[in-house]
């Protein structure tokens, strides 16, 4: 039998340290839903999602009850809608987003991702239409998430798309102004987007994926923080070892839930995403892990190095715990979703520039950051370009999920509620990047792309 | 399914008896049991076979929770595999 100590440790991780499964995400291919008639395509999409994922919520709840591990979200990701809607020839894809929203509500899931376009090398078919439809789509739906991939290490960075996304983000914020610009919290601009990511807002079912897949994301910053509290003052090797052991245990739970969900839903197991995802709850913060490692307040010198240790150890510990690893796999640093990050911004220790440096050593990028509502679109585009450059040159995923909060300035706070939390509005450079952004074109792929 | 049932709370007379009675009444078979007092707290762990239970899992969990409440202890029922996968390679 498992020892008493081990049983109590697991219970403590779940009850006191907030270990949970962040999401079971079912990826669904919609390739067979394309149709020259838009209405017919939408009917096929609705039918397929509600058929394939109809038992997702029930299975999630059953697993939660049997194993006693909270499963916070059940989600669906679909093939990039730009590819499916293109055949319809319609000039606006908002109706496709409304259909996704309706299907999500019918099966009772929390989010649906895939109102997406991959334009890292250029616009094809419906991709231009999809991007233009994003502001309306996100303001007319509740559960739909959108993402646009504007760069890859192999293709370089599509600066026309980068510029356009600056304006699309502004427009999305304006159309959802009454809710603090919440539409932007459901919109991610990627470089090197992964095709099997279970986390929102960036989840979509990639073109190389199979018919359907179960992808699972775990969450356990509180567990790592508690483990580090027990090794205060010890050297870095001990810190790394401690994180690795905890990451292994966390990921094993993810693997167990993914296998079980796969069996019960009769959908192949895809990947476990080895990510540390914080929530706004006290005791579930990545910033507090960095502070436990010896940084007085997140953002102070040493923060990037501390995050690098954390991110590396999470992967090393997690990789052996799962048979298939994928998605974003690394530590997340969303500001509004992390109580420690919010405090650090308010204390003045954490700036956008420091967050940008941190994104070079962890997964994702500038995530859930509120900036003044009057920030020019070109400046937002330039922030995206900087993030994309870090991702493209270093062969990693980076992303920007930024909210130009309408009518708000530095010192204000925007409330989103739930997992999205609340964001203190952060200062952005006042100097213009417009002439750089307005050049357009494509930044060539870096030398590191030539690996053959 | 085989589950680990944990009972944690302040020690008093009859905790094992009362919890075991609920399990027996619903045809749950106790395979292994260990009990200890940790910092004044009564901690009991049971490995239980639930494959023959006469009620649904949710119903059994509810009955155990109600009994636990009367005794002033928390009762958890969790699939054995959760612990096995986390602590065994």
Domain architecture of chain A: domains with CATH? 27-191 (3.20.70.20), 212-441 (3.20.70.20)
Residues facing residue A152 across a β-bridge: A156
Question: Which helix (H) or strand (E) element contains residue A446?
Answer: none
CA distances from A161 to A253, A352, A443 (A): 39, 22, 11
Integer Cα distance of A135 and A181 in angstroms:
11
Domain of B73 in residue numbering reads as 2-87
Among residues B16, B51, B86, which one has the least CA distance to residue A19?
B86
Integer Cα distance of A265 and A252 in angstroms:
20
ipTM for the predicted complex: 0.90
Structure tokens at A219: 């969450």
- Residue environment code for A360-382, b if the CB has 16+ CB neighbours within 10 A, otherwise e: bbbbbbbbbbbbbbebbbbbbbb
Query: How confident is the model over A253-257, as a mean pLDDT?
Result: 95
What does pTM read for this prediction? 0.94
| CATH at B28 | 3.30.70.260
User: Using CB atoms, which residue from A1, A4, A256 is nearest to B82?
Assistant: A256
Q: Between chain A and chain B, how many beta carbons pairs sit less than 8 Å apart? A: 61
Among residues A340, A335, A364, which one has the least CA distance to residue A352?
A335
Query: How confident is the model over A423-439, as a mean pLDDT?
Result: 97
Task: Provide the H-helix boundaries in A30-150.
Answer: 38-52, 56-67, 81-85, 94-107, 127-139
Integer Cα distance of A63 and A69 in angstroms:
8
Among residues A257, A194, A248, A247, which one has the least CA distance to residue A398?
A194
User: Which of A1, A8, A19, A257 should be substituted to probe chain B, the one whose Cβ sees the most B Cβ atoms within 10 Å?
Assistant: A1
Integer Cα distance of A288 and A273 in angstroms:
22
**Averaged pLDDT of chain A:** 96
Task: Provide the H-helix boundaries in chain B.
Answer: 15-25, 57-71, 80-87
Q: Residue A246: CB partners within 8 Å, gap ≥ 6?
A: A220, A223, A224, A227, A317
What distance in Å separates residue A344's CA from the closest CA in chain B? 33
Q: Are A322 and A254 in contact (CB under 8 A)?
A: yes
Helix (H, G, I), strand (E, B) or coil at A157: strand
Q: Which residues of A touch B77 (CB under 8 A)?
A: 68
Q: Which residues of A touch B38 (CB under 8 A)?
A: 8
Q: Which pLDDT tens digit goes with each residue over A393-407? A: 999 999 999 999 999
Integer Cα distance of A192 and A156 in angstroms:
10
**Cα B35 to chain centroid, rounded:** 11
Q: Above 90 in pLDDT, residue A155?
A: yes
Lookup result for tokens 């096929």: A44
Q: Please, what is the Cα angle at A365 between A361 and A368, to 5 degrees? A: 140
Among residues A395, A396, A363, which one has the least CA distance to residue A278?
A363
**Averaged pLDDT of chain B:** 93
Q: What's the pLDDT at B17?
A: 94
Q: What's the pLDDT at A386?
A: 98
Torsion angles phi and psi, residue A415, rounded to 5: -100, 125
What distance in Å separates residue B73's CA from the closest CA in chain A? 15
Among residues A59, A22, A54, A82, which one has the least CA distance to residue A278?
A22
- The answer to whether B54 faces chain A, any CB pair under 8 Å, is no
Integer Cα distance of A366 and A371 in angstroms:
11
User: Using CB atoms, which residue from A8, A65, A252 is nearest to B86?
Assistant: A252
Q: Which pLDDT tens digit goes with each residue over A308-351? A: 999 999 999 999 999 999 999 999 999 999 999 999 999 999 99
Per the structure, the count of domains in chain B is 1
Largest Cα span, chain B: 38
- pLDDT band of A16, cuts 50, 70, 90: confident
- pLDDT band of A364, cuts 50, 70, 90: confident
Query: How confident is the model over A150-158, as a mean pLDDT?
Result: 98
Query: How confident is the model over B11-29, as a mean pLDDT?
Result: 94
- The answer to whether B21 faces chain A, any CB pair under 8 Å, is no
Q: What's the pLDDT at B76?
A: 95
Q: Above 80 in pLDDT, residue B38?
A: no
Residues in chain A: 452
Q: Above 90 in pLDDT, residue A283?
A: no
Q: Above 90 in pLDDT, residue A427?
A: yes
Q: Which pLDDT tens digit goes with each residue over A132-147? A: 999 999 999 999 999 9
Q: Are A156 and A392 in contact (CB under 8 A)?
A: yes
Q: Above 90 in pLDDT, residue A419?
A: no
- pLDDT band of A43, cuts 50, 70, 90: very high
User: Using CB atoms, which residue from B43, B84, B86 is nearest to A4?
Assistant: B43
Q: Are A171 and A184 in contact (CB under 8 A)?
A: no
What is residue A425's DSSP assignment? B
Of B36 and A121, the structure prediction assigns the larger pLDDT to: A121
Query: How confident is the model over A263-275, as a mean pLDDT?
Result: 95
Q: Above 80 in pLDDT, residue B40?
A: no
Question: Which helix (H) or strand (E) element contains residue A114?
Answer: strand A111-118
> Helices (H), strands (E): how many in chain A?
15, 14
Q: Residue A405: CB partners within 8 Å, gap ≥ 6?
A: A173, A180, A181, A370, A371, A372, A373, A412, A414, A423, A425
Structure tokens at A10: 């697991």
Long-range own/partner contacts, residues B43-46 (CB < 8 A, 24 or more apart): B43/A4, B43/A8, B43/B6, B43/B7, B43/B8, B44/B6, B44/B7, B44/B8, B44/B15, B44/B16, B44/B19, B45/A1, B45/A4, B45/A7, B45/B4, B45/B5, B45/B6, B45/B7, B46/B4, B46/B5, B46/B6, B46/B7, B46/B19
Q: Which residues of A touch B64 (CB under 8 A)?
A: none
Pairwise CB contact (< 8 Å): B76 & A68: yes
- Residue environment code for A97-117, b if the CB has 16+ CB neighbours within 10 A, otherwise e: bbbbbbbbeebebbbbbbbbb
What distance in Å separates residue A254's CA from the closest CA in chain B? 10
Integer Cα distance of A309 and A331 in angstroms:
10
Q: What's the pLDDT at A342?
A: 96
Torsion angles phi and psi, residue B50, rounded to 5: -105, 10
């Amino acid at each position: 039998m498992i020892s008493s100590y081990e049983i109590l440790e697991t219970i403590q991780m779940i009850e006191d340290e907030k270990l949970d499964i962040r999401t079971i995400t079912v990826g669904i291919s919609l390739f067979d839903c394309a149709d020259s008639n838009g209405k017919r395509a939408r009917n096929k999409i609705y039918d397929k999602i509600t058929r394939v994922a109809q038992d997702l919520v029930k299975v999630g709840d059953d697993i939660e009850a049997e194993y006693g591990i909270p499963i916070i979200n059940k989600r669906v990701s679909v093939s990039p809608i730009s590819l499916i809607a293109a055949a319809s020839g319609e000039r606006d894809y908002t109706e496709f987003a409304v259909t996704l929203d309706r299907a999500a509500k019918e099966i009772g899931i929390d989010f649906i991702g895939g109102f997406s376009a991959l334009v890292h090398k250029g616009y094809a078919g419906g991709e231009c239409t999809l991007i233009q439809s994003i502001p309306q789509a996100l303001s007319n739906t509740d559960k739909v998430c959108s993402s646009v991939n504007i760069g890859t290490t192999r293709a370089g960075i599509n600066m026309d798309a980068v510029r356009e996304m600056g304006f699309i983000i502004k427009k999305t914020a304006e159309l959802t102004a009454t809710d603090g610009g919440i539409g932007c919290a459901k919109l991610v601009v990627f470089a090197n987007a992964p095709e099997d990511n279970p986390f929102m807002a960036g989840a979509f079912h990639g073109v190389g994926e199979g018919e359907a897949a179960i992808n699972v994301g775990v969450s356990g910053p509180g567990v790592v923080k508690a483990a580090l509290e027990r090794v205060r003052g010890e050297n870095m090797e001990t810190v790394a070892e401690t994180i690795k052991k905890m990451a292994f245990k966390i990921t094993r739970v993810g693997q167990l839930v993914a296998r079980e969900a796969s069996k019960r839903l009769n959908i192949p197991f895809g990947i476990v995403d080895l990510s540390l995802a914080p929530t706004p709850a006290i005791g579930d913060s990545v910033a507090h892990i960095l502070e436990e490692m010896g940084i007085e307040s997140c953002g102070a010198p040493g923060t990037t190095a501390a995050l690098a240790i954390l991110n590396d150890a999470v992967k090393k510990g997690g990789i052996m715990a799962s048979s298939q690893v994928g998605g974003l796999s690394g530590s997340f640093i969303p500001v509004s979703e992390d109580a420690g990050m919010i405090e650090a911004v308010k204390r003045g220790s954490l700036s956008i520039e420091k967050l940008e440096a941190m994104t070079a050593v962890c997964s994702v990028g500038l995530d859930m950051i509120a900036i003044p509502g009057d920030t020019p679109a070109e400046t937002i585009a330039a922030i995206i370009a900087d993030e994309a450059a870090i991702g493209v040159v270093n062969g990693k995923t980076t992303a920007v999920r930024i909210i130009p909060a309408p009518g708000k300035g530095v010192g204000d706070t925007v409330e989103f509620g739930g997992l999205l939390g609340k964001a203190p509005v952060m200062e952005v450079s006042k100097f213009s990047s417009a002439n750089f952004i307005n050049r357009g074109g494509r930044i060539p792929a870096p030398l590191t792309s030539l690996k053959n | 399914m085989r589950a680990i049932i944990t009972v944690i709370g302040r020690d008093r007379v009859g905790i094992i008896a009362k919890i075991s009675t609920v399990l027996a009444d619903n045809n749950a078979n106790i395979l292994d049991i260990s009990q200890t007092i940790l910092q004044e707290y009564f901690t009991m762990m049971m490995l239980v076979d639930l494959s023959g239970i006469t009620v649904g899992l949710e119903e059994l969990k509810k009955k155990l929770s109600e009994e636990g409440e009367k005794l002033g202890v928390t009762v958890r029922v969790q699939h054995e595999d959760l612990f096995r996968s986390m602590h065994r390679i």
